[in-house]
Every structure is written in C-alpha cells, then in structure tokens.
Amino acid sequence: MLAVEDLQSAAPMRMQRAQGQASVSFRSRDGQTCLDRLFQEGCAKLRFPRPLGSDDPQAILINTAGGLTGGDSFAIDANLAPHTNACVTTQACERIYRSTGADAVVTNRLRLAAGARLAWLPQETILFDGGRLSRSLDVDLAGDAELVAVEAVLFGRQAMGETLHSGHLHDRWRIRRDGRLIFADDLCVEGDIAARLAPQPAMAGCRAMATVLFAGIVPERFLDQARAIIGEGGGASAWHGKFLARLVEETGLALRRRLEPLLTLLMGGRPLPKVWQL
C-alpha cells in the first residue's frame, strides 16, 4: 500500500486527449472526379455519401470524439488533381469545450491543382465558455483553381443562456496561388469574449459570425447579389481575384439562413451538402 507521501510525490496523471488525422485526394477518371487515396487515423473519419443533385463527390468529415478540448488535435489534408471537383464538409457542428489551459489545435491543409474546384464547407464551430481553439487553414491554389471556403463560429449556446466570460479563439487563414500569398487573415479574441464582442465596432453583442472567401475568376460578379443576401449584418468586397464576406448575426440559425444562399451563389447554383439542410 502506498503511503500518503508517495501519492503526493507521484507524477500527475496524464489526461487522455483526442487526436485525429485524415488525408484524402481526388483524381479524374474518364472525365469524372473519383476518390484516389484515403487515410484516416484516431478520431478523424471521412465518409462519402452520394451527392444531392450534383456529380461532384462529397467528403463528410467526422470527429468521433464528439468535440474538442484543451490538448486535443485534429488535422485534415485534402488534395485535388487537375480538373477535379469536390466538396468537403462536416457531419455536424464542431464543439470546443472548456479547457484546463491548453488549446485545441485544428489544422486544415488544402491543395488544388490547375483547373480544380473545391468547396470547403465545414459547419459552424461552437465555442463553449472556457473553450480554447487555435485553428489554421492553409491553401495552395495552382493556375485557375477555384475555392469556396467558409468558417463560422457561434460564441456560446444562446438557447442555454450561456455567456462566454473566458476563452480563446485564434483563426488563421493563408491562401496562396502559384506560391504567391494572395490572402492572409488572423482573427484572435480571448479573455472576456462577451465583453469584447459587445461594442458596436466589434459585433454589437452578436453571438454568431462567419468568414466566406471565393478565390477564382471575376469575383466582382457576385457583389450585388451577395450584398443583398447579407443585408446589414455584414459586408462583402472583391479585388484581385478574391471575394470576401463577413457576416454577423444574433443567433446561429439567423447566420445559417444568410450563409446558405450566399454559398449557393458562390458555388454557381450547385446545391449545398445534405448535412447543411436544416
């Protein structure tokens, strides 16, 4: 039997952490995009349902851990060969639970060869009070490759009356075309998040926000329709082959109602994945 002194001097128990990694690549065969290679490890899984009203394959990313907390890590690599089309989304909203100090780390890497087209459409991330998330999106586009990407965050669960008095979010985007950086963005908010989001120049107390990017040919053609969809809850601009929109709303449902038509517009009318349809 261990003495009390032995227990006190023993090394602290290491808590179990979730780790997941997945890699998927697509190639063209007889003019159709098909799965080339697939790797999945830990809590990261990919499933490929039959697309709804589209020939483009869909990859549904699943976190079998049911959420992320401090010290967890999750990563995905997606690679598209020349002249392939695909959509990558998530089974459900990702949840970032309270952390004891460390960040949950999410790393997303996308590689698109010339003529490829990808819709990167993860569903919303829910940041719980005390949650900590460090997330990166690194994209390499070749030639005339086209990307539609969205990342949306819900700050707390409004239905539960939750207020984020502590937490951390760092969202990092780096988009390159032919090796040249064309878009860089860092969103960082921490501490008393509710108080930081309350001022009018920030989010005027709104609890839901999204960043939407289109990188492709003549993005200016989307501006008028996009601004009509977004309304007063955000803004949109287009320059040098990029379209960027920021949206803020009071609730996640209100944000989703704006995102669905906006993403459909940027995708040229192609339907969103079925998991997006409430």
Please answer whether residues 173 and 146 qualify as being in contact, where contact means their C-beta atoms are separated by less than 8 angstroms.
no
Confirm whether 223 is domain-assigned. yes
Query: Average pLDDT of each block of 10 consecutive residues along the chain (278 residues)?
Result: 54 73 96 95 94 81 95 97 97 94 96 98 96 98 97 85 88 98 96 88 87 97 97 94 96 95 96 86
Identify any residues that bridge with 38 across adjacent strands, giving them in sequence order: 24
Confirm whether 9 is domain-assigned. no
What are the helix (H) ranges across the chain? 4-9, 193-197, 223-230, 252-266
Confirm whether 12 is domain-assigned. no
Question: What pLDDT was estimated at residue 5?
Answer: 58
Check residue 17 and report its DSSP letter.
-
Confirm whether 2 is domain-assigned. no
**For the chain, first and last CA: distance in Å?**
57
Question: What is the domain range of residue 71?
Answer: 20-276
Please answer whether residues 135 and 102 qualify as being in contact, where contact means their C-beta atoms are separated by less than 8 angstroms.
no
Q: What's the total number of domains in the chain?
A: 1
Question: What pLDDT was estimated at residue 51?
Answer: 73
Question: What pLDDT was estimated at residue 8?
Answer: 52
Question: What pLDDT was estimated at residue 158?
Answer: 72
Confirm whether 208 is domain-assigned. yes
Confirm whether 81 is domain-assigned. yes
CB under 8 Å to 66, separation ≥6 — which residues? 95
